[in-house]
Amino acid sequence: MNAYLEIIRPGNAIMAVIAVILMAIIGKNYDLPIILGAITVFLATGGGNVINDYFDYKIDAINKPNRPIPSGKISLRIARNYAYFLFIIAILLGFTISTLVNSWIPCIIVILSSLLMYYYGHTLKKIALIGNLAVSLLTGLCFIFGGFIIGLYTMSNGIIITSIYLGFFAFLMTMAREITKDMEDIEGDKSEKAKTFPIKYGLKKSSYLAGFLMVLASILSPILYFNGIFNFYYLIVLSIAIIAFLYGAYIILKDQSPESCKKASKLVKIGMMIAFISFAIGSF
C-alpha cells in the first residue's frame, strides 16, 4: 500500500465516513451537502491519524514498527505537513457545507474536531481516560455532524435528535475499545511515560471498566427500537453485535494478557460494524 494512503489508515477513516453515510440512509437524503460531509470526515479523520502517528512515532517504533514513520517510509516533517494539509482541506469543505445549509454549525464542528484531534495526539492521549474520552467523542460527532447537515438542509429536527442518540451509543462502544487498546499497548506506552488508564490503575481495573462499557452498550442499545427510532429488524441484527460485545467483555474480564486484549478489541470493532449495519437496516 502507498505510504501516504497507509498513514491515514483508510479503514479507520472509512469507519468514520460510514457514520455519515448511515445518517444519509436514515435521513433518506443524498444531496451534495452530505456527500461533501462524507469526504470531509474522511480527510479530517485521515489528518487526525497522521498527526497521531507524528506524535507517537517513538511508541509505534516499539508497538508497531512497520508503520510508515518508524519504518522510514515517510519523514516526520512530511507527515506533519501532510496532516496540516488534510485538516485545511477538511475545514474548507466544512465552510462549503455551512454555506449550502445556511448554518455555521457544520464548519464549527469540523474546526473543533480538527483541533481536538491535534491536541489528542499532542497531549490528551497520554492522560488517563481523557484521551479515551476525546477519541470516543470524535466518533460520536461523526453521527452528529451528518445529522446536522441533513437536519439543517431539510429543516428536520428529528434527524438531528436521532444523530445525537446514535452518537451517544457510538461514544460508549468506542470508549470500551479505546480502553482495551490501551491495555494491549501498555508496554509501549510505559516506555513513553504515558499515563493511560491501564498504566495508572492497572489491567484488572481497566478490564472492569472496559467490560462494564461493553455490557452497558449491549443493555441500552435496544432502546433505539423501543423509542420508535428503528424497526424490529434492527433488533435482529443488533443481537449479533451484542453477542460480540458480551463475548469481548467475557474475554477481557477473564484474562488481561496482550493476546486477550487484542482479541477483545477486535470483537468490539466487529460488534461496532454490525451495530452500524443494524442502524441502516433498522431505518428501512
Nine cell digits for residue 137: 467523542
Nine cell digits for residue 104: 455555521
pLDDT tens track for 203-235: 899 999 999 999 999 999 998 888 888 899 999
How far is residue 77's CA from residue 166's CA, in Å, rounded to a whole number? Answer: 37
How far is residue 186's CA from residue 236's CA, in Å, rounded to a whole number? Answer: 36
Instruction: Tell how far CA 135 is from the center of its chain.
Output: 6
List, in order of start, the domains of the chain with CATH numbers: 3-282 (1.10.600)
Instruction: Tell how far CA 150 is from the center of its chain.
Output: 20
Long-range CB contacts (within 8 A, 24+) of 66-71: 67/6, 67/7, 68/3, 68/6, 68/7, 69/7
39 CB-contact burial (10 Å; exposed 0-12 / middle 13-18 / buried 19+) = middle
pLDDT at residue 227 in the model: 82
* Residue whose cell numbers read 509505534: 60
How far is residue 42's CA from residue 179's CA, in Å, rounded to a whole number? Answer: 24
pLDDT at residue 187 in the model: 75
pLDDT at residue 192 in the model: 67
The whole-model pTM stands at 0.89
> Are residues 105 and 98 in contact, defined by beta-carbon separation less than 8 angstroms?
yes
pLDDT tens track for 83-130: 999 999 999 999 999 999 999 999 999 999 999 999 998 888 778 789
pLDDT at residue 30 in the model: 93
**3-class secondary structure, 127:** strand
> Are residues 51 and 80 in contact, defined by beta-carbon separation less than 8 angstroms?
yes
Alpha-carbon dihedral sign for residues 136, 12, 239, 281? positive
Under DSSP, the state recorded for 222 is T
> Are residues 172 and 220 in contact, defined by beta-carbon separation less than 8 angstroms?
yes
Parts of the chain with a pLDDT under 50: none
